[in-house]
Amino acid sequence: MVVLSKGELEQIALPGVQRAAPPLAAVPEVDLSTAATSGRAAAARAVARACEEHGFFKVTGHGVPRPLLARVEAAATAFFALPQREKEKAAAAVAAPGGGPFGYNSKRIGGNGDLGWVEYLLLGVTAAGAAAAPVALPGAPPPSAPAEASPCCFRDLLDEYVAAVRRMTCTVLELMAEGLGLEDRGVFTRLVLDGDSDSMLRVNHYPPKQQQQQGSRLTGFGEHTDPQIISVLRSNATAGLEIELRDGTWVAVPSDTDSFFVNVGDALQVPCLILLLLLHALISIFFFFFFMKLAIRCRVLQLGY
């Protein structure tokens, strides 16, 4: 992992991709609001079917307050709009003796030659659901920034977000167990809530970038695998998420700011990619759960016209 300065990041020559993916005809959808009613069995079957057929599905009726989502997005946008030197104050853990992945970073991706047009904030997550920040979030934001951009407010918002998403994810994992026919529907959830569980919260920002070549589509986050059982994703209104189906076809997933997306992998081997539209910044927030090793191959691309 290499930390890039702003100037270095802007000099990255990103590999090209030949063509855009067609849209996914129907995104598998699970309404969690039915899980507390007579529709629970149907919801469990829907989760199992989505995992088997796509390894990917959209979660609606999740109960995470929309105002909270809007505030977290605003705070993340304000954070990434800070001067580079302010953001790098949150990279202390990365620069600490022995290294470490946490904090702010911008990087080249993986050992396969992919180069990443991305900056991110990576935080460890405790079993209690709090965003454990082993880094110092930056100091006073610009006067024009929302109140949520202040260090204490941003940290509190992330704590609240993690707690809400963890509750939602536990429901998803219970439905997953039920859909698999397991008698103990809490078998996955207990692993998430265990004191030794290891989860992460990652806030990604893919800056807009004017392309020099008309019609080009350039890699912003190259194909890779994530060693998690599931990843829970929410992004802003910028389109970009794509997944690879079992037949090797890549399909585009329409953005949906009111929903969460869940990626599962390993046996299902569900690769995904994220496209970055020209002149539009993409903010995405991933919640990773590490209690079982699964893989999701991902990459982020940038479109040019």
- Number of residues that make up the chain: 305
Work out the burial of residue 1: count CB atoms within 10 Å of its CB; fewer than 13 is exposed, 13-18 middle, 19 or more buried.
exposed
Average pLDDT on 90-114 reads 57
Runs of H (alpha helix) within 23-65:
40-53
Between CA 177 and CA 182, with CA 179 as vertex, the angle to 5 degrees is 45
Cα(103)–Cα(122) distance, integer angstroms? 5
Least confident range of 51-55, 160-164, 220-224? 220-224
Burial letters 67-95, b for 16+ CB under 10 A, else e: eebebbbbbbbbbbbbeeebbbbbbebbe
The whole-angstrom distance between residue 146's C-alpha and the CA centroid of its chain comes to 23
- In degrees rounded to 5, what are phi and psi of residue 250? -90, 135
Under 8 Å between Cβ of 155 and 161 = no
pLDDT digits (tens, 9 = 90+) for 178-217: 998 988 999 888 877 877 777 888 888 877 765 545 555 5
Average pLDDT on 101-115 reads 62
Predicted pLDDT at 277: 47
Taking 50 as the threshold, does the pLDDT of residue 284 lie above it?
yes
Predicted pLDDT at 195: 73
Cα(106)–Cα(1) distance, integer angstroms? 9
287 vs 268, more confident: 287
Predicted pLDDT at 252: 81
Q: What percent of the chain has pLDDT over 90?
A: 17
* Residue 3 one-letter amino acid: V
Under 8 Å between Cβ of 260 and 284 = no
pLDDT digits (tens, 9 = 90+) for 226-257: 667 788 988 888 777 777 777 888 888 888 88
Predicted pLDDT at 251: 81
Predicted pLDDT at 278: 44
Predicted pLDDT at 292: 32
Average pLDDT on 260-285 reads 60
pTM for this predicted structure: 0.78
pLDDT digits (tens, 9 = 90+) for 73-95: 888 888 888 888 888 776 654 44
What are the distances in angstroms from CA 194 to CA 147, 199, 279?
A: 34, 11, 42
121 vs 271, more confident: 121
Q: pLDDT-derived band of residue 269, with 50, 70 and 90 as boundaries? A: very low
Taking 60 as the threshold, does the pLDDT of residue 34 lie above it?
yes
The CATH architecture that domain 6-303 belongs to is: Sandwich (2.60)
Predicted pLDDT at 151: 58
Least confident range of 87-101, 124-138, 290-304? 290-304
For 201, the enclosing helix (H) or strand (E) is strand 199-206
What are the distances in angstroms from CA 137 to CA 60, 169, 200?
A: 31, 26, 16
Cα(99)–Cα(101) distance, integer angstroms? 7
234 strand-pairing partners: 285
